[in-house]
Amino acid sequence: MAAQLLGALAMVLAIRPYAGAGSPYGSVVVTDAVALMSFGVVGFVIGRLVPWRLAPPLLGIAAWVALIGFQYNGGGGAAVLSLLNPADQLDLYGRVPVWWSAPAALLWTGGVGGTVLLLYAARRRALALVPLAAAVLGAAVLMNTGDGLWRDSPALTRQVCTGKDPEICVEAQNRRLLPELTAALSGMHGKLRGVPGAPERWVELPEGVLMPGEARLSPLGWEAFRGRLAEPERYAYGSVTELFGLCSTERPGWERAVDITQAVSDWLAPYTHNWYEPSPGTQRHLTRLKAMTPAESRAYLTRLLASDRCKAPEAVPAP
């Protein structure tokens, strides 16, 4: 238990300079530590009762299988029992625990360990009824609360914007990246400035529907490292591909449309280390784009953004 708490503390100190909004959930760390301690108590008692050399590894394997089974078997009673699983994977993105989740988890896991220990070592085994009652109470609260153990946190997911034209908006927990995002997207914004139909607002929106005039930023989860953009060029290129999106490949003319949008993406946000080899069509369109004057490129982008690349790929204008 002490090793787990020290490890968690070291991890928090290591990532603290690069963390965004919010703070560590100490209650989650403590409940995990108590769960580990209870596992240790149960293992100790079983070891005393079953003096067999293969008991420890077999017990560990059985516990692992049980915990993983409840974690991935999502249906009916298993879904309810997964709420009691201390090893269950949690989606913490933009969410915080409610105040009673930690006490309920402590009663459940600590009560199980205390019950087993008192049944084995106490002179008056009736004393085990106290931690057993605590475990039942904690389990009942966890199972009845269900998904309500975690709530959305507007403080983490609210939008923070640059206020410039166009706006760049990210969730509050990523607000420290705004200056780097602005710099990374500046080249693309310069080419799109003054183009009718160009995005007026770029938003970090992992889920949800975009409003008119908005475009989705490339997800930051794989692009930010230690509070900085790992590769600004790659991030700008990813945001451009989000602008054009993915369309069905079953309509006539889709290959031509892909070549055109790929060339426009390469022109708007050049990425030196791109992994793909451009097709002859893409290379031909890119050469034409590079030869255009600013006025010509703005006129072309206006026609391109006005076209429906998904429903009518054959009508996508070429440079």
pLDDT above 70 as % of the chain: 92
All residues at 6 or more sequence positions from 130 whose CB lies less than 8 Å from its CB, including other chains: 114
pTM over 0.75: no
- What are the phi and psi torsion angles at 139 (to 5°)? -65, -40
Q: Is the pLDDT of residue 294 over 60?
A: yes
SS3 letters for the chain? CHHHHHHHHHHHHHHHHHCCCCCCCHHHHHHHHHHHHHHHHHHHHHHHHCCCCCHHHHHHHHHHHHHHHHHHCCCHHHHHHHHHCCCCCCCCCCEEECCCHHHHHHHHHHHHHHHHHHHHHCCCHHHHHHHHHHHHHHHHHHHHHHHHHEEECHHHHCEEECCCCCEEEEEHHHHHHHHHHHHHHHHHHHHHCCCCCCCCEEECCCCCCCCCCEEECCCCCCCEECCEECCHHHHHHHHHHHHHCCCCCCCCCHHHHHHHHHHHHHHHCCCCCCCCCCCHHHHHHHHHHHHCCHHHHHHHHHHHHHCCCCCCHHHCCCC
Spell out the domain ranges in the chain: 2-155, 158-315
What would the pLDDT profile of 58-96 be if each residue is shown by its tens digit?
888 888 887 776 665 555 555 666 777 777 766 676 778
| Angstrom distance (rounded) from CA 49 to CA 172 | 53
What would the pLDDT profile of 110-134 be if each residue is shown by its tens digit?
999 999 999 998 888 899 999 999 9
Q: Are 215 and 202 in contact (CB under 8 A)?
A: yes
Q: What is the mean pLDDT of the chain?
A: 84
Window from 43-52, 87-96, 176-185 with minimum mean pLDDT: 87-96
Burial class of residue 168, CB neighbours in 10 A (0-12, 13-18, 19+): buried
